[in-house]
């Protein structure tokens, strides 16, 4: 592993050298493209004005019509227009509170406004069609929403032919809001250029920008030149091809990417560059961390979690085929730029004081965003409509990787006497919204922002963790591997995923999918009774009760409280050390187990291996005949202390 | 600290030690309120965990995930228990407000009080201290606003600075200043309370201004004493919490003892400050004889220059020969009818 820090000037020289070294291919050494069906080719020449936080650019988009039919109009996303007071994105964020931002809870602040303005749009061979541009709102009819434009062409583009758009546009960034924007000299440029919609299932799929969705786009190639002040350090999707000093205080940096469906970049003169190399199954991959001096204590942590995550994904799910992954550590005050994924480019998050015992920042978030390289960047499902296929599956793999790296029960927190595993976080997200929305529902139609988060991330992760109890952990890992290898670069649907799991598991899991994916049933099992009674209880002359000699009848009653039917195991322990495991298919509302033994029952526990993370209430899953006071005493002790401590602190004022 | 004030911290500690009965009673009341404040939560916990194996992850470690689930169980009502705990949190300051008169009287006379004497003294000064507490809202409110200003300043500077630590250091510096000012205000009102008891001062508004003058002129000595004792409290708390974090998860009885020790030390250091203030005042003021204090109709008693004629009973060490230039009563003279040395 290389791990070098450089001053700005030395770094620039190094980047030039690195750019030269990478100029040949955007892929890892053992990979050759194309990897995807390339529909689009973007060439963008952009000039960044740091004072205005704006980019003026010329975009040349070559669209290859592979739809099999003539196309006479094209929709484009203008995502930055989502940050306007009348936009649907802002309305939704203001209505529900956005779990990615809190900037829209109160009055409108102009500094959070962003925009994309198309100043001219020409179609090669058809002339200027700027006047044909019209804003459309296919999802909610909000005529003031300007996040989607539709361009009617004078002549249709025949199937199999290319059409070239030349678009001049201006992008004005907000102060960091939900994945994009500036903070001081820092800029994260995400969703910044006009991006064509996806022809999918026989129609254009180009949703408005919603607060509760992410993105969807076609694969292709990107050649992007960015001109900016020469003291800026820049990172972007793909690999750097050149760095030219323009002699006027600016430089132009060129990037190239293939088989990706988006392009993001970042720049800041204060960046420090930390580099490392991951040696995977398809050769060396450069890890390039753009970070800050203040976060020095997190640099090695970033590198370690990237190495660990890349290794596990490579071993478990498939190779990372690109030559480079850029990891951005946003500066303080730009937290909303953190925790985001773009192809070959992710943003993590940390603080200068982050204790090592908590692994949420930077480890958890960095792992999560790297995982998106597989489910978002390569498999590339439609996140508008089935966000769970990306965010949810990624939350599941996050649990698996973090468990593997930091321990099952300590993968998020192991600090100051407290522990928490990543699966607990997913469960907490899910439990609050267990019955609000199904996974299959388009995510922008979920009940609320909280429901979107809880269902998309938490419910999917707990659904897949629970599925391990049915098909086995290894089988599910194989299924994800098969799904990734088969569907990468293809935009699969949720049915493709479910079918793949069925095939690999060798069983029809329709009963499970109907409840866990398409339904909103709640899974909740309860131990209703656990009791041992002397069989001779009615005999007045019965001998004195004696351990090991007296015969007891033990009744165990387990109950299904929710509508979700799931097979469960109940573990019954007796006071002679005997343990019995009973299986119940869960179809009836309750099940009784009866035993005649010279022993009394000690405890009953449903799901003793703690696999059924979808069970909404863990507290009713067990009954112990003897009082369990350990936790009660511990919590009471601390509760009393806090009451006393705050009381004496308050008395200080008197 | 001049020779006259040497050993003030130790003298305060010795006084707390001699009159430790007071401390123990205060602690017992604090503990009782703490346990009462925990009763609701404990009942809920018993209901949820007494016969469930789910608590194992909390007793054999502390699974925060399980704890969050516990808090969020809809019928657990742990949040309601939290509100009832808050009630007991608020009762203790009221209790302390009531007994402070008794505590200061015990320290003033440095003898064991009967319960009747103690509560009579407490009652006699209660309404004066209520008035002082209400007056204290003004400076504490101003300091609250100052804290909010510090926060805004830190946000402003931190938001514009590249180093992420800037916000923290600006806050640290600002909060340190605010804490010192809060400590000064506390000292000022403590002196006012001491003065109300030792001088049997009935008028709290003039008392407050005279106490401010005394506190300001003697800030070097008194503030150092308060800071020193506060330092002991803060260090004890920090060390205690460090040990707490290192304790094995299953040793709940030991954890209980440690946490109770921390609470006890916080209360002890607070009474130590009060005892030191009383000791200092007794060394520098003409103390109204205890039997001359009529709790029901207190006679106004003025602070006098104690350096010139210290009452023997009140000054354990020999006073300096020359009065300091900034004596607590500079410019003041006894009014007709007032007791003086």
Residue A558's φ and ψ, nearest 5 degrees, are -115, 150
What lies within 8 Å, CB to CB, of A549 at 6+ separation is A543, A598
pLDDT of residue A449: 85
Partner-chain contact A618 B41, CB within 8 Å? no
With contact defined as beta carbons under 8 Å apart, do A255 and A72 qualify? no
- HSE, CB side, 13 Å, CA atoms: give it for residue A499: 7
Helices A422-431 and A460-471, interaxial angle, to 10°? 110
Confidence grade of residue A222 (pLDDT, cut at 50, 70, 90) = very high
With contact defined as beta carbons under 8 Å apart, do B237 and B190 qualify? no
Q: What is the pTM of this model?
A: 0.89
A463 has a pLDDT exceeding 90: yes
Q: Which residues from B are below 8 Å from A638, CB to CB? A: 255, 259
Give the minimum alpha-carbon distance from B333 to chain A in angstroms, rounded to a whole number: 30
Closest chain B residue to A418, measured at CA: B62
Size of interface A-B (CB pairs under 8 A): 214
Dihedral angle over CA of A290, A296, A300, A305, nearest 10 = -60
Cα–Cα dist B269/B233, whole Å: 6
Confidence grade of residue A98 (pLDDT, cut at 50, 70, 90) = low
pLDDT of residue B299: 43
Q: Give residues 350 to 389 of A whose Cβ lies within 8 Å of B.
A: 351-353
A24 has a pLDDT exceeding 90: no
pLDDT in tens, B76-88: 778 888 888 999 9
Find tokens 């003039």 and name the residue: B206
Helices A391-406 and A473-487, interaxial angle, to 10°? 130
Confidence grade of residue A210 (pLDDT, cut at 50, 70, 90) = very high
Helices B20-49 and B64-72, interaxial angle, to 10°? 80
Q: Which residues from B are below 8 Å from A424, CB to CB? A: 63-66, 68
A134 has a pLDDT exceeding 50: yes
Q: What is the CATH number of domain A38-218?
A: 2.60.40
pLDDT in tens, A224-269: 999 999 999 999 999 999 999 999 999 999 999 999 999 999 999 9
A612 CB within 8 Å of a chain B CB: no
User: Quick one: which of B80, B62, B63, B73 has its CA closest to A431?
Assistant: B73
Q: What percent of chain A has pLDDT over 90?
A: 89
Partner-chain contact A428 B89, CB within 8 Å? no
Which of A364, A527, A621, A647 to mutate to probe the B interface, most B CBs <10 Å? A647
ipTM exceeding 0.90, yes/no: no
Partner-chain contact A644 B34, CB within 8 Å? yes
Cα–Cα dist A99/A211, whole Å: 9
- Fold type of domain A525-627: Immunoglobulin-like (2.60.40)
- Which CATH entry fits the domain spanning A1-30+237-351: 3.30.2010.30, 3.40.50.300, 3.40.109.10, 3.40.50.720? 3.30.2010.30
Partner-chain contact A622 B89, CB within 8 Å? no
Q: Give burial (CB, 10 Å; 0-12/13-18/19+) of A407.
A: middle
Mean pLDDT of A586-605: 98
Q: Give residues 247 to 306 of A whose Cβ lies within 8 Å of B.
A: 270, 292-295
Q: Give burial (CB, 10 Å; 0-12/13-18/19+) of B259.
A: buried
User: Quick one: which of A101, A269, A252, A266 has its CA closest to A189?
Assistant: A266
Q: Which residues from B are below 8 Å from A427, CB to CB? A: 65, 69
- Which CATH entry fits the domain spanning A395-516: 2.50.20, 1.10.287, 2.30.240, 1.10.390? 1.10.390
Find tokens 């001096």 and name the residue: A293
Structure token digits, residue A17: 């050298």
Averaged confidence pLDDT in chain A? 94
The domains spanning A1-30+237-351 and A395-516 adopt the same CATH topology: no
B308 has a pLDDT exceeding 50: no
Please report, for chain A, the start and end positions of each structural domain, with discontinuous segments joined by +. 1-30+237-351, 38-218, 395-516, 525-627
A579 CB within 8 Å of a chain B CB: no
Give the minimum alpha-carbon distance from A649 to chain B in angstroms, rounded to a whole number: 8
Q: Which residues pair with A570 in a beta bridge?
A: A582, A606
pLDDT in tens, A478-520: 999 999 999 999 999 999 999 999 999 999 999 999 999 999 9
A331 CB within 8 Å of a chain B CB: yes
Cα–Cα dist A212/A420, whole Å: 27
Closest CB to B88 among A418, A619, A643? A643
Q: Which residues from A are below 8 Å from B204, CB to CB? A: none
Q: How many CB atoms lie within 10 A of CB A548?
A: 8
Q: Give residues 471 to 530 of A whose Cβ lies within 8 Å of B.
A: none
Closest chain B residue to A644, measured at CA: B34
Closest chain A residue to B251, measured at CA: A634
Three-class SS state of A628: coil
Q: Give residues 178 to 207 of A whose Cβ lies within 8 Å of B.
A: 184-185
Structure token digits, residue A24: 């040949």
Q: Which residues from A are below 8 Å from B144, CB to CB? A: none
């Amino acid at each position: 592993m290389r791990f070098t820090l450089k001053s700005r000037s030395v770094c620039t020289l190094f980047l030039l050298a690195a750019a030269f070294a990478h100029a040949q291919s955007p892929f890892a050494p053992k990979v050759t493209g194309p990897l995807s069906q390339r529909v689009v080719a973007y060439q963008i020449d952009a000039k960044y004005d740091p004072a205005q936080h704006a980019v003026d650019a010329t975009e040349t988009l070559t669209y290859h019509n592979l739809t099999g039919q003539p196309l006479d109009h094209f929709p484009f996303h203008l995502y930055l227009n989502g940050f306007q007071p009348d936009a649907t994105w802002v309305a939704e964020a203001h209505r529900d509170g956005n779990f990615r931002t809190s900037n829209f809870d109160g009055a409108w602040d102009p500094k959070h406004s962003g925009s994309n303005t198309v100043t001219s749009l020409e179609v090669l061979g058809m002339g200027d069609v700027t006047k044909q541009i019209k804003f459309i709102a296919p999802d909610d009819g909000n005529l003031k929403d300007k996040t989607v434009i539709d361009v009617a062409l004078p002549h249709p583009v025949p199937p199999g032919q290319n059409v070239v758009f030349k678009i001049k546009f201006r992008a004005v960034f907000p102060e960091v809001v939900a994945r994009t924007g500036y903070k001081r000299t820092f800029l994260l440029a995400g969703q910044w250029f006009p991006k064509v919609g996806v022809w999918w299932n026989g129609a254009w799929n180009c949703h408005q920008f919603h607060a509760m969705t992410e993105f969807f786009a076609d694969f292709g190639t990107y050649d992007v030149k960015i001109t900016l002040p020469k003291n800026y350090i820049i990172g972007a999707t793909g690999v750097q091809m050149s760095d030219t000093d323009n002699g006027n205080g600016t430089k132009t940096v060129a990037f190239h990417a293939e088989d990706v469906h988006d392009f993001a970049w970042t720049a800041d003169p204060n960046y420090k560059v930390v580099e490392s190399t991951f040696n995977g199954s398809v050769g060396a991959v450069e890890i390039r961390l753009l970070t800050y001096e203040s976060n020095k204590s997190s640099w090695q942590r970033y590198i370690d979690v990237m190495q660990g995550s890349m290794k596990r994904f490579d071993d478990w799910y498939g190779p990372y085929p690109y030559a480079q992954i850029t990891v951005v550590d946003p500066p303080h005050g730009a937290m909303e730029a953190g925790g985001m994924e773009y192809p070959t480019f992710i943003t993590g998050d940390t603080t200068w004081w982050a204790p090592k015992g908590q692994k949420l920042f930077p480890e958890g978030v960095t792992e999560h965003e790297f995982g998106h390289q597989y489910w978002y960047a390569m498999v590339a499902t439609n996140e508008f409509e089935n966000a769970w296929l990306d965010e949810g599956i990624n939350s599941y793999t996050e649990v698996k990787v973090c468990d593997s790296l930091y321990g099952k029960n300590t993968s998020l927190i192991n600090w100051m006497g407290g522990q928490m595993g990543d699966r607990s976080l997913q469960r907490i997200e899910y439990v609050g919204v267990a019955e609000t929305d199904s996974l299959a529902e388009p995510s922008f139609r979920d009940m609320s922002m909280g429901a979107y988060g809880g269902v998309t991330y938490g419910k999917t992760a707990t659904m897949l963790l629970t599925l391990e109890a049915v098909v086995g952990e290894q089988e599910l890992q194989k299924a994800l591997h098969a799904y990734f290898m088969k569907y990468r670069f293809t935009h699969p649907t949720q049915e493709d995923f479910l079918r793949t799991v069925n095939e690999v598991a060798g069983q029809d899991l329709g009963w499970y999918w109907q409840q866990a994916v398409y339904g909103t049933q709640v899974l909740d099992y309860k131990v209703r009774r656990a009791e041992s009674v002397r069989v001779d209880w009615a005999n007045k002359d019965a001998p004195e009760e004696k351990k090991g000699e007296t015969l007891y009848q033990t009744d165990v009653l387990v109950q299904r409280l929710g509508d979700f039917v799931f097979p469960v195991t109940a573990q019954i322990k007796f006071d002679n050390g005997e343990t019995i495991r009973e299986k119940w298919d869960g179809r009836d509302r309750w099940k009784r187990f009866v035993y005649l033994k010279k022993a009394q029952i000690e405890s009953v526990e449903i799901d003793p291996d703690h696999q059924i993370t979808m069970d909404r209430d863990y507290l009713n899953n067990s009954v112990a005949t003897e009082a369990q006071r350990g936790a009660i005493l511990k919590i009471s002790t601390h509760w009393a202390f806090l009451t006393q401590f705050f009381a004496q602190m308050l008395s200080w004022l008197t | 600290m001049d020779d006259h004030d040497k050993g003030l911290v130790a003298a305060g500690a010795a006084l707390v030690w001699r009159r430790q009965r007071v401390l123990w009673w205060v602690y017992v009341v604090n503990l009782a309120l703490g346990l009462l404040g925990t009763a609701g939560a404990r009942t809920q916990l018993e209901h949820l965990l007494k016969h469930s194996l789910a608590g194992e992850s909390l007793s054999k470690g502390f699974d925060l995930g399980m704890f969050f689930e516990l808090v969020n169980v809809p019928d657990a009502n742990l949040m309601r228990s939290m509100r009832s705990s808050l009630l007991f949190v608020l009762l203790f300051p009221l209790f302390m407000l009531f007994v402070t008169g008794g505590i200061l009287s015990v320290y003033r006379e440095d003898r064991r009080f009967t319960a009747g004497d103690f509560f009579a003294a407490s009652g006699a000064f209660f309404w004066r201290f209520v008035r002082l507490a209400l007056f204290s809202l003004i400076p504490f409110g101003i300091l609250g606003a100052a804290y909010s200003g510090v926060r805004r300043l830190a946000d402003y500077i931190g938001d514009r600075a590249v180093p992420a630590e800037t916000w923290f250091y600006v806050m640290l510096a600002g909060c340190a200043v605010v804490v010192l000012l809060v400590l000064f205000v506390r000292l000022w009102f403590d002196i006012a309370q001491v003065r109300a008891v030792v001088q049997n001062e009935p008028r709290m508004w003039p008392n407050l201004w005279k106490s401010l003058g005394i506190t300001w002129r003697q800030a070097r000595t008194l503030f150092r004493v308060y800071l020193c004792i506060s330092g002991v409290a803060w260090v004890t708390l920090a060390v205690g919490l460090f040990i707490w974090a290192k304790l094995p998860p299953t040793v709940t009885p030991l954890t209980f003892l440690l946490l109770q020790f921390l609470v006890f030390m916080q209360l002890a250091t607070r009474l130590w400050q009060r005892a030191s203030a009383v000791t200092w005042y007794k060394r520098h003021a003409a103390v109204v004889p205890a039997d001359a204090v009529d709790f029901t109709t207190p006679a106004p008693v003025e602070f006098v220059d104690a350096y010139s004629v210290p009452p023997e009973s009140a000054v354990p060490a020999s006073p300096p020969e020359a009065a300091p230039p900034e004596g607590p009563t500079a410019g003041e003279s006894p009014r007709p009818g007032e007791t003086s040395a």
